[in-house]
Amino acid sequence: MTIMNAVLQPQRLIPAWQAALTGSFTRPAELLAFLQLPPDLPSLRLAQIRDFPLRVPRGFAERMEKGNPDDPLFRQIWPSSDEDVLNPDYVDDAVGDLHKLKPGGLIHKYHGRVLVIATGACAVNCRYCFRRHFPYGETRASRNHWRSLLDELQADETIEEVILSGGDPLSLADDKLAELAQGLDAIPHLKRLRVHSRQPIVLPERVDDELLDWLTGTRLQTVMVVHANHANELDQVVAAAMARLKQAGVTLLNQSVLLRGVNDSLDVLKALSERLFDCGVLPYYLHLLDRVQGAAHYEVDDAVGKALLRQLSGHLPGYLVPRLVRELPGKPSKTWIHW
């Protein structure tokens, strides 16, 4: 049978980063097998893992040392049974976001800048995440709500900077992000667009032509704050992604979290700062742990954090020493911890 005048529709190519994301580890047993770790390694019960599931891109898992349950990258993503322990000093909303949250995913806590919860999705689920209990389904700035979001930003001339956050804003497709960026570009009093993202670290394929097109196709100064906690996260593929961003004129900063068993030593923090600079990224913040329920086993004592920064300042130039900070609800800015 002959079909006349058939029109072949070209298949839509899936971006490389989305293809890589679909290959992520989401089952604890599969990750343990890949890393050659004991299958009975203590983990959360299945019901609790469903509340905050395991998600690890394969490329990030490949940077972990096989056979080592104390690998610093593995410790950040493994749903340990330690999360079962309830701590009365830890809460679901550790930084008071929900008290400042407006309809459409807008959080306006600090003068001159606002944060937009663009999505609840992430490429990796870090177990210490301060928004691990955040009600994303009710609050994110979905594409349908961007008009009202832009109208609100247009009406407040005190706002000069918009911060895209989440989740991870780079979990959204580039056409959606480009549409939002164009809307922000049209607001005359906005000066800067900042993107907070862990994806260039854990999923460096995300830094592609489409991303760079919308990120740099605006009059706004663009800043990307990435999130790496250990030098082992910054392999050559990540370094190449950072180079592309830097060559495009994006200002690159890094924020880390001080985590027990991950980066709570002078040698590790020094190596992280030096490796970041090798990749064209300046250390920006070193956060003391936000006290979110389920993450108490990561906390490093404030006095230890101060001592580490004192030591670090004796080994590195000032521009490679991050600011030690804690985010406290109700404060007009991050609180510097003077060491």
pLDDT digits over 27-73, tens only? 999 999 999 999 999 999 888 899 899 999 999 999 999 999 999 99
Pair of tokens at residue 233: 């996260």
Strands (E), the chain: 101-102, 106-110, 113-117, 161-165, 192-196, 221-226, 251-257, 282-287, 323-326, 335-336
The residue type at 279:
C
Q: How far is CA 114 from the centre of its chain?
A: 17
Total count of domains within the chain:
2
* Upstream peptide bond of 167 is cis (omega within 30 degrees of 0): yes
- Is residue 11 situated within a structural domain? no
Co-location of 141 and 78 in the same domain = no
In a domain, 8, yes or no: no
Question: How do residues 131-148 score in pLDDT, each as one tens digit?
Answer: 988 887 666 556 566 888
* Structural domain span for residue 76: 18-84
**Strand-strand pairing, 251-257 and 106-110:** unpaired
Residues 292 and 201 in one domain: yes
**Which of 84, 111, 131 finishes a domain?**
84
Give the tens place of pLDDT for each residue, 277-321. Answer: 999 999 999 999 999 999 999 999 999 999 999 999 999 999 999
**Distance between CA atoms of residues 281 and 324, nearest Å:** 17
Is 7 among the domain residues? no
* Residue 223 counted as domain residue: yes
Residue carrying the six token digits 């830097």: 246
Q: Residue 123 domain-assigned?
A: yes
